[in-house]
Amino acid sequence: MARIGTIARRTFLIGSAAVVGGVAFGYYAYKRPAQNPLLEGLDSGTAALTPYVKIDQSGITLITPRADSGQGAYSVQAMLIAEELDVGLDQIRVDPGVPSPAYYNTALSSEAAPFRATDDGLVAETTRGVMDAMMKFIGMQITGGSTTVPDSYDKLRIAGAVARETLKAAAAQQSGLDVAALKTANGAVILPDGRTISYVELAPIAATLEPVQQVQLRDPGAWRLIGQAVERLDIVAKSTGIATYGIDLEVEGMLHATVRTNPRRGGPMNSFDASAARGMRGVVDIFEITGGVAVVADNTWRAFQAADAIVFDWGPAPYPAQMEQHWQVLSESFNEDHLDSRRRDEGDVDAAMSGAEVITAEYRAPYLAHAPLEPISAMVRVAAEQVDVWAGTQIPRLLQSTVADMTGFGVDHVHVHAQIMGGSFGHRLEDRVVREATEIAMQMPGVPIKLTYSREEDTSHDDTRQIAMARGQGVVRDGKVETFDLGIAMPSVIASQIGRLGFPVAGPDMQIVAGAWEQPFKIPNYRVSGYRAPELAPISSWRSVGASTNGFFHDVFLDELIHAAGADPMAERLRLCWHDPSRKVLEAVAEMSNWGAPLAANKGRGVAFCMSFGVPTAEVIEVTDTPNGIRIDTVWVAAEVGRVVDPVNFENQVQGGVVWALGHAMNSEITYSDGQVDQQNYYDFEGMRHYHTPQIHVRGLENGDHVRGMGEPMVPPAPAALSNAIFAATGQRVREMPMHKFIDFV
C-alpha cells in the first residue's frame, strides 16, 4: 500500500520539534505557519508544528484535538495514533490539546458544500477544496457533523507513523545499527539482539533529527487496535464516579453564578427587582448582564434560590408569540419567493402530475431542545495577565477569540481548558454560557466564576432544533413510484447559528434539504425544493441537523407512495436505489430482520433509509399494537461507514442514536406560548427511558472507500421507520412529531 503520493498531495507533512526533555511530532503547515500551542515560551524555529504526539521525560502524550462529548472520540483518536506508533493504550496519556488553528477540521467543511456525498466528480472535489480553505481561514476547531473519524483517519495515523520511523532513526543513530534491522513494539524500539530502547529515552535524540517523511501506513491486515474493541480510556473513571465534568470544577476562591435572561428569547429586560434576593444567605452580588441578570453566590443552590426570588419585567420576543404563528410562517413559505434551492429536479414533475391522480401529504417536525444531562456551565477567571476559560465545548478556538474580543486580551493570553462534556448533541456548539461567564468574571477580576444553568434555564433557553414542515405530491403507476415532489420549509439553521457566532452566511443553506435532496434514488420525475422561511426563534445544530427532520419527511412520503403503488416497501426502495453501497445497507437490514417473514396480526414493520453525512443508513423497526398502545419491540440498523474503528463503541453509538431519535419522535417538543418556551424540565421533555427501550441490532458495513463518522447518521431514518411500522401495524399514518399526540406508546 503505497500511500506516499496521497500524503504528499494532501500536504500532511509531519514535522517535529524539541520540547523540554523530548520531542513533539505533528502537522506541519507548509505555507503560512499556524502557531504551535505546545511551543509557547520556547524559542524555536519550528513554530509551524501542531503536535499530535509528544514524548518527554514524563511519558508519551497523544493529543486529540476533537472534543469528546461522550462518543468516545478521545479513544478513537488515540487508537489511530497508537496503531502506527506501536504503543499500547495503557502506555499513553491523552490530552485534548489547546485551541489551535492548525487542528482545523476539513471533513466538516466538505459536508457544508452543496454536493452529494455520492458525488465524487471533479467539481465536487474542487469545491470541497474551496470550503477547506475557508475552514482553515476561520480556524474552525469544531467537533460536529460526525467528522471526528473522517478528519482524523489519515492525519493521526500518519503522525503516528512519522513519529515511529523517526524514533527508529534515533535508535539507529544511538546504537550504530541499520534502521532496517530495528522493530518497534510497546513504546520502544527493539534491537536485533532483543534489547529495547524506550521512546522516552530516544525522544531527545529524535528531536535533533529531520522527521522521516517516507512512511508507509500499515496494511489493515496488520492492525492491532483499529477494528478491535478496546477498553475506552475514560471507562473506568466514568464507571466509578471520578470523571470530572465542567460543572464539577472546584478551584480555590471560586464563586458560583447563575443567570436569568428573558424567556422571550432575545427580548429586552424592562426592569428587575432583586431586593428580596440580595438579602439571602450566601448571595455575593446581583447585577445586570447582557439580556438579563447574574447572581453570584457562595454555592450553586443559593445562586438558584436567589435567582428565583428576583422579580422581572421582560419585554416581548422578537419572533411570533404563539406556536400557531410559527407554523403559519412555515406554511406561507412554500413559494418561489422563498425558494432556497432546487438541486434535485429530474424528469418533468409538473407534466407528470397534470391529469394524474396526485397523492399529497403534509408533515411537521417540532423544535427540540438538546438537553444533555449535564446542564451547561462554564468557569472563567479574568486575571491581570491572562484569562482562563474552563468549558466543555465543541468550539474551543472560537471561544478563545470571542473571550479575547470581550476582555481586550490578545488570543494568546486567553487559555481555554477543554472539559469532559456530559453530552452535547450540538448544544455545546454555542458560546452563550461562556460569554455570560466572561461578562460576570469581568465584573469580579481575579475571581474564578463558575456559571451553572439550572435545568429549567437550560431547557427554556436552548437554541433548539429547527421546526420544519414538508409537503409532498406524488404519482404512482403500474405498482411503481413514478413522481416524487417534496418541498421543505424551515428557517436557516446555519444563518441562525453562524450568525450568532458573528460570521456572515451567503448562498443557499443546504441543511434545509439535507437528508432529502441527495438521496440515492432514481425516480422518473423527482424534485426536492428547499424553502427558506424567515427567521423565527433561535435555532441551532441538533444531532444530524437538517436531516433530523428531512430524513423523516422524505422517507415517510416515499413509504406512502410505495404503499399506494401496492409495492413491497423493501423491494421498491431497492428497485429505486441506484447507489451500490446504499443498496447493500438495505439488503443487509432486510437480511438481519428477516424482512418478509410472516408476522402476528398485531405486529407491523417499517423500513426507512437515509443517507446523511455520507453514510447510507437503513433501519427496520418492528412494533406491536398492544391494547394499551404501541410497543417498539426491535430495531435493526445497517450503515455503510467505510471502516468501523471500534466495534463496541460503534454499536454503543448507534444504539444510543436510535434511542435518541425514537425518544424525541415519540414524546418531545419545544413549543412557545406568549413568546416563552412551555417546557422546563424532563417532566415535559422526556425522551426515552429504560422501559421504552427496544432491542437494537447493529451492523456496520465496510464497503465504501471513505471513512465516515457515526455520531449522527443513525438519527434521521429512525422516526421514519417508526412511522412506517405504525402504519403497517395499524393502518394509521403519523405525519407529525411528536407522535404521542396521535399514538399511545407503552
Partner 1 sequence: MLDEQNRAKECTVKLTVNGTEHEVDVEDDMPLLWVLRDELNIKGVKYGCGVAQCGACTVHIDGVAVLSCQIPAADVDGRITTIEGLGTTETLHAVQAAWIEYQVAQCGYCQPGQVMQAASLLSEIPNPTDAEIDDAMSGNLCRCGTYLRMRAAIKAAATKLQEA
Residues binding partner 1 (CB under 8 A) = 69-72, 229, 231-232, 234-245, 247-248, 250, 256, 276, 279-281, 299-301, 304, 371-375, 420-425, 452, 454-455, 648-649, 652-653, 655-660, 663, 681-683, 686-691, 693, 695-696
- Nearer of residues 393 and 723 to ligand FES, judged by Cβ: 393
Q: How far is the CB of 105 from ligand FES (least distance, A)?
A: 23
- Nearer of residues 165 and 374 to partner 1, judged by Cβ: 374
Residue 657 binding result from ligand FES, partner 1, none, given CB thresholds of 5 to 8 Å by partner type: partner 1
Residue 311 binding result from ligand FES, partner 1, none, given CB thresholds of 5 to 8 Å by partner type: none
Q: How far is the CB of 675 from partner 1 (least distance, A)?
A: 24
Using a 10 angstrom Cβ sphere, with 0-12 exposed, 13-18 middle and 19 or more buried, the burial of residue 280 is middle
Cis-peptide, bond into residue 37, ω within 30° of zero: no
Q: In whole angstroms, what is the distance from residue 134 CA to residue 505 CA?
A: 12
Residue 420 binding result from ligand FES, partner 1, none, given CB thresholds of 5 to 8 Å by partner type: partner 1
Spell 542-578 as b/e; 16+ CB within 10 A means b.
bbbbbbbbbbbbbbbbbbbbbbebebbbbebbbbbbe
Q: In whole angstroms, what is the distance from residue 701 CA to residue 580 CA?
A: 12
CB contact at 8 A, 481 and 313: no
Q: How far is the CB of 278 from partner 1 (least distance, A)?
A: 10
Radius of gyration of the chain (CA): 27
- Nearer of residues 220 and 279 to partner 1, judged by Cβ: 279
Number of residues that bind ligand FES (CB under 6 A): 3
Q: Does 423 bind ligand FES (CB under 6 A)?
A: yes
The residue assigned the cell 479513544 is 75
The residue assigned the cell 408569540 is 321
- Nearer of residues 181 and 254 to partner 1, judged by Cβ: 254
- Nearer of residues 282 and 423 to ligand FES, judged by Cβ: 423
Q: Does 373 bind ligand FES (CB under 6 A)?
A: yes
Torsion of CA 43, 48, 52, 56, to 10 degrees: -20
Q: In whole angstroms, what is the distance from residue 581 CA to residue 695 CA?
A: 25
Per-residue contact track with ligand FES, 61 to 100, x per CB under 6 A?
A: ---------x------------------------------
Phi-psi region of 604 (alpha: psi -120 to 50; beta: other; left: phi over 0): beta
Q: Does 268 bind ligand FES (CB under 6 A)?
A: no
- Nearer of residues 443 and 681 to partner 1, judged by Cβ: 681
The residue assigned the cell 436552548 is 462
Helix, strand, coil: what percent of the chain each, to 5? 35, 25, 40
Residue nearest to ligand FES (CB): 373
- Nearer of residues 100 and 653 to ligand FES, judged by Cβ: 653
Q: How far is the CB of 684 from ligand FES (least distance, A)?
A: 14
Q: How far is the CB of 275 from partner 1 (least distance, A)?
A: 9
Q: In whole angstroms, what is the distance from residue 398 CA to residue 181 CA?
A: 47
Q: Does 642 bind ligand FES (CB under 6 A)?
A: no
Residue 562 binding result from partner 1, ligand FES, none, given CB thresholds of 5 to 8 Å by partner type: none
- Nearer of residues 390 and 660 to partner 1, judged by Cβ: 660
Residue 239 binding result from partner 1, ligand FES, none, given CB thresholds of 5 to 8 Å by partner type: partner 1
Q: How far is the CB of 405 from partner 1 (least distance, A)?
A: 30
Residue 217 binding result from partner 1, ligand FES, none, given CB thresholds of 5 to 8 Å by partner type: none
Kind of pairing, strands 603-612 and 480-491? Answer: unpaired
- Which among 369, 541, 390 has a CA at the least distance from the CA of 457? 369
CB contact at 8 A, 147 and 111: yes
Residue 229 binding result from ligand FES, partner 1, none, given CB thresholds of 5 to 8 Å by partner type: partner 1
Residue 245 binding result from ligand FES, partner 1, none, given CB thresholds of 5 to 8 Å by partner type: partner 1
Q: In whole angstroms, what is the distance from residue 121 CA to residue 213 CA?
A: 30
Angle formed at CA 642 by CA 228 and CA 80, multiple of 5 degrees: 45
Q: How far is the CB of 305 from partner 1 (least distance, A)?
A: 9
Spell 410-442 as b/e; 16+ CB within 10 A means b.
ebebbbbbbbbbbbbbbbbbbbbbbbbbbbbbb
Q: In whole angstroms, what is the distance from residue 308 CA to residue 316 CA?
A: 20
Q: Does 652 bind ligand FES (CB under 6 A)?
A: no
Residue 421 binding result from ligand FES, partner 1, none, given CB thresholds of 5 to 8 Å by partner type: partner 1
Positions touching ligand FES (CB under 6 A) are 70, 373, 423
